[in-house]
Amino acid sequence: MHKFHLMALSLGLTIPIAAQAYVDPGTVGALYQVLYILLFALISFTIMKPYNYLKSIFKKLFSKDEDDSDSESK
């Protein structure tokens, strides 16, 4: 409990109540670029994962058909 009070006191002294700061537009632009990349990666992963799964299933199904037809013709 003593550590919690010490941590709360140290955080209370280090976090300013009111900050008058300037946020550079270049910094915000860089943050947006990172967010767009993460969003695009998330969307592409959620789309491509089921697509590749279905693709592998169909590939297995159709490769069996080709192997069966080759063995029958011999």
Mean pLDDT, rounded, for 2-8: 78
For residue 30, give the amino acid letter. Answer: A
Phi first, then psi: give them for residue 64, nearest 5 degrees.
Answer: -65, -40
Spatial separation of the C-alpha atoms in residues 62 and 13, rounded to whole Å? 68
Question: Which residues in 48-62 are b (16+ Cβ under 10 Å) and which e?
Answer: eeeeeeeeeeeeeee
pLDDT tens, position by position, 33-68: 999 999 999 998 888 888 888 899 999 888 865 555
Query: Whose structure tokens read 């992963």?
Result: 45
Percent of the chain with pLDDT over 90: 19
